[in-house]
Structure 1
Amino acid sequence: MKADPGRIASIARVWPPELRLVLLFGPDDSASRDLAGQLVAGIAPETLTEIDGSSLKHDPQALVAAATSLSMFGGRELVRVDGLDEAGLPAVEALLSAPAGHPVVAVAGDLKAANKLRQAAEKHAAIAACAQYEATLRDAPKLLAEMAAPLGLRLERGVAETLFASAAGDRQVMRRELEKYALFKDSAADNPQRLDADDLAALGIASGEAELFAPIAAITTGDVATASDLLARLPDGTAIPLLRGLERRFVQLIALRVEVDAGRSPDAVVEGARAIFFKEKPIIAKALAIWTQDRLRRAMGEILAAERAVKASGGLADVGAHAMLLAMTRRAAAAARRR
């Protein structure tokens, strides 16, 4: 049967005895995984059995075996399946035909309407099938407020949008950030606290994310002078946050560049994309025009190598990372001039 996130939240509190499987799917994989994590946390099993969904194609009975196994410790068990797809339908059918056992939570990809697994799940009364769609910046206040409420956080104006933009709309990242701020504020459902821009800055949203938007923009658009100035101003120990922020930006560009290579303009691709902060749209569109897939792959390799060097050598490696980033910026500038 079809279910919405509210229904899944209630299942996390009390798993109905007639329910055999929760299937989470849709274009927003981070939302599906976030909900799966909330189910695991709510059920709090003593034993969690994890299964690779692709393995069920060759061994459909593995799901039944896991769901009906005897508990070694006598406590509640839960089975989690990641990467379930249409090839796993026989395993799901076998599960439904078997005697009732442990609850099963499965995360699938973007199952289309014609997908047989999705169709079967949405019709069967013993399955809760919940589709997850990508949120936009407009959804941020309601989405973040719902995440923050159980943690005792009340978000001041603009906080939700800042967190959403810094996490690029990734719900798992947003939840981890909110949990961090709940610890910082010592908040709880029975001890609510307000979260404002000063709190974000106090725990590093400024130095860890937002403050890095400008150097990331300069590096990816080939602005050598600005990148050189901003990198020189960064305090020691910021190489890792910068490299990881840049890595996330390149992952985003890799995904968007597919559409550019298919013939769409960078501006059209960015306008049609979700979870892009409006102030960053022209920056990302400019970067899309510069970075080809080959350049992006090379840059990703350099970033990963630089991060390993920083971890191995400590803060002294920040200088080497900054030198690599300046060289990367100069290549982007040269590519921009050749356009």
Structure 2
Amino acid sequence: MAQKKAHEVDAWLARPDHDIPVVLIYGPDRGLVSERARMFAQKTGLPLDDPFTVVRIDATDMDQQGRLLDEARTVPMFAERRLVWVRGAANHSALAADVAALIADPPADSVVLIEAGDLKKSAALRTAVERGHSAMALPCYADDGRGIDAVIDEVLAAAGLSIALEARQLLKANLGGDRLASRGELEKLALYCADADEVTAEDVRAVIGDVSRLSADDAVDAVLGGRIAAFDTLFTRHLASGNPPFMVLSAALRQVQALQLMREQVDRQGKTPAAAVASTRPPVFFTRRRAVEQALQRWNQAMLQAAANRLQGAILKSRQHPAVAEPLSRQALLALAIEGARAAR
């Protein structure tokens, strides 16, 4: 089988087999997919800023069979080889057919690199690569503890920083949903600690711990996750901080509408919940990704529409009757939390 297990990917990328002309890098962690694709591209030794040598194609532009074949079989003019770099691939039938043809008759002068989202085991593109002898499939999943440790050490060491044990544990609890998001947060932390020798837990709380401002989103996640007691605590805390109740209603409506769009991708495009969440723009804050994925799994389109209607009605009533906005908001959100708990059963 032409594939590596998730824990074997970094070792293969450190010393890739240059005789393999088709490489597929896929998975729900789009940041990690992008990072590893660039790593492989650099290992080819080709000038990545040369448009004659490196051809970048968006998979959505490859809706006709033969486009990839034409690019891969084009004779390079100014180098020994060309890199054909396809981004944003999903289960496109035309692309899968071209890849299968390239694997059966490998190109002599080109390397084909494909970045894809979370592909099911039965996806035609993934199947074609995994069954081929002249191709390699490399899966990318959200970082586990060891992966997060490696990224922490890499970024902080480059900045000349060490890290206290408590700070590391706090970081690991808040990172890992997406490699690029994790790296961005760590670079922000390194910049904050530029004049220090060691990163402390206080530094982490000051930079990454600013998620406390997302208390309304935390309450919404509790609602959609069916965590009734957590919702009650978070909503009460939100009000005690002097925030108006409609803020949570509005946040809940925005989240439900976002889930409706993601649900459309799951139902009509066959994406997994993780892939749908990863493709959302603007991206879901990395500490919330798991909660959003779980909500997407539990709430179908009909339930989401009913939730949107309930929230719109509650927002209208809270504005018409501000004196009772708090109990109106709590009642509407509690009803949704109960619905979320039922969906989890």
What's the TM-score, normalizing by structure 1? 0.58
Q: Which residue of structure 2 lines up, in the alignment, with residue 19 of structure 1?
A: 20
Aligned equivalents of 1:298 and 1:195: distance in 2?
47
Matched, 1:228 2:239: yes
2:126 is the alignment partner of 1:126 = no
Q: 2:88–2:117: 8 Å Cα contact kept in structure 1?
A: no
Pick from 53, 58, 63 the counterpart of residue 52 of structure 1.
Answer: 58
User: Separation in 1 of the partners of 2:73 and 2:190?
Assistant: 35
Q: Which amino acid aligns with 2:107?
A: P
Judge conservation of contact 1:144–1:160 (CA < 8 Å) in 2: no
Q: Deviations over 1:235-289 (max 9, x none)?
A: xxxx9xxx99997898689979x99xxxxxxxxxxxxxxxx989x98xx99xx89
- Write out per-residue CA displacement over residues 180-210 of structure 1, whole angstroms, 9 at most, x where no aligned residue: 33444459xxxx96433222234x2122x2x
In 2, Cα distance between equivalents of 1:154 and 1:173 = 21
Deviation string, structure 1 residues 277-328 (Cα, Å, up to 9, x no partner): 89x98xx99xx89x95137668999xxxxxxxxxxxxxxxxxxxxxxxxx79
SS state at 2:87 partner: strand
Change (3 A) 1:300 1:177: farther
Q: What is the deviation of 1:82?
A: 1.8
How far apart, CA to CA, are the structure 1 residues paired with 2:171 and 2:262? 22
- Looking at structure 2, the residues matched to 178 and 104 of structure 1 have their Cα atoms a distance apart, in angstroms, of 32
Change (3 A) 1:79 1:277: closer
* Cα distance between partner residues in 2 of 1:129 and 1:335: 44
Structure 1 residue 293 and structure 2 residue 293: aligned? no
Q: Quote the Cα distance in structure 2 between the aligned partners of 1:159 and 1:247.
A: 33
TM-score normalised by structure 2 residue count: 0.57
Tell me how far apart the structure 1 counterparts of residues 121 and 179 of structure 2 sit (CA, whole Å). 24
In the alignment, the residues of structure 2 paired with residue 333 and residue 41 of structure 1 have an alpha-carbon distance, to the nearest angstrom, of 56
The aligned counterpart of 2:100 is 93
CA distance in 2, matches of 1:58, 1:173: 34
| Residue 127 (structure 1) shift | 1.7
In 2, Cα distance between the equivalents of 1:173 and 1:71?
Answer: 38
The aligned amino acid for 2:91 is D
Candidates 80, 83, 88, aligned match of 1:82: 88
Aligned AA for 1:226?
A: R
Cα root mean square deviation, aligned? 5.1
Q: Which position in structure 1 is the counterpart of 2:36?
A: 35
- Are the counterparts in 2 of residues 215 and 226 from structure 1 also a CA contact under 8 Å? no
Please report how far the alpha carbon of residue 174 of structure 1 lies from its aligned counterpart in structure 2 after TM superposition: 0.9
Task: Work out whether 1:143 is the aligned partner of 2:147.
Answer: yes
- Can you list the C-alpha shifts for 1:46-88, whole angstroms capped at 9, x where unaligned? 2453323244341333354167464679997551332242612
In structure 1, runs of 5+ residues without a counterpart are 234-238, 260-275, 302-326
2:49 partner letter: E
Identical counterparts, % of pairs: 19
Once the two structures are TM-superposed, the CA of residue 218 in structure 1 deviates from its matched residue by 4.1
1:124 match: secondary structure: coil
Instruction: Tell me whether 1-10 or 65-74 shows the greater mean CA deviation.
Output: 65-74
Alpha-carbon separation, structure 1, partners of 2:173 and 2:311: 22
**Change in 2 beyond 3 A, CA 1:116/1:335:** closer
Query: CA distance change for structure 1 residues 155 and 19 in 2, over 3 Å: closer, same or farther?
Result: farther
CA distance in 2, matches of 1:67, 1:245: 51
Q: Which runs of 5+ in 2 are unaligned?
A: 224-230, 267-285, 313-324, 339-345
Distance change (3 Å), C-alpha of 1:247 and 1:21: farther
Could you say which residue in structure 2 is the equivalent of 1:200?
Answer: 204
Do the aligned partners of 2:37 and 2:113 also contact (CA within 8 Å) in 1? yes
The residue that corresponds to 2:315 in the other structure is none
**Distance in 2 between residues matched to 1:160 and 1:299, nearest whole Å:** 42
Whether contact under 8 Å (2:3, 2:138) holds in the other structure is yes
Residues 186, 228 of structure 1: alpha-carbon distance in 2 compared, 3 angstrom cutoff = same
Which residue in 2 is equivalent to 1:177? 185
Equivalent residue number for residue 336 of structure 1: 334
Amino acid at match of 1:113: K
Q: Look up the match of 1:271.
A: none
**Residues 322-333 of structure 1 correspond to what in structure 2 (within 5 A)?**
331=329, 333=331
Partner residue, 1:265: none
Alpha-carbon distance between aligned partners in 1 of 2:330 and 2:55, rounded to the nearest angstrom: 46
Alignment partners' CA distance in 2, 1:145 and 1:134? 13
Partner SS for 1:217: helix
Give the superposition deviation at 1:177. 1.5
Aligned residues: 273
- The answer to whether the 8 Å contact 1:122/1:128 transfers is yes
Change (3 A) 1:112 1:77: closer
**Over residues 77-109 of structure 1, what are the superposed CA-to-partner deviations in whole Å (9 max), with x where a residue is unaligned?**
551332242612221134342533343321234
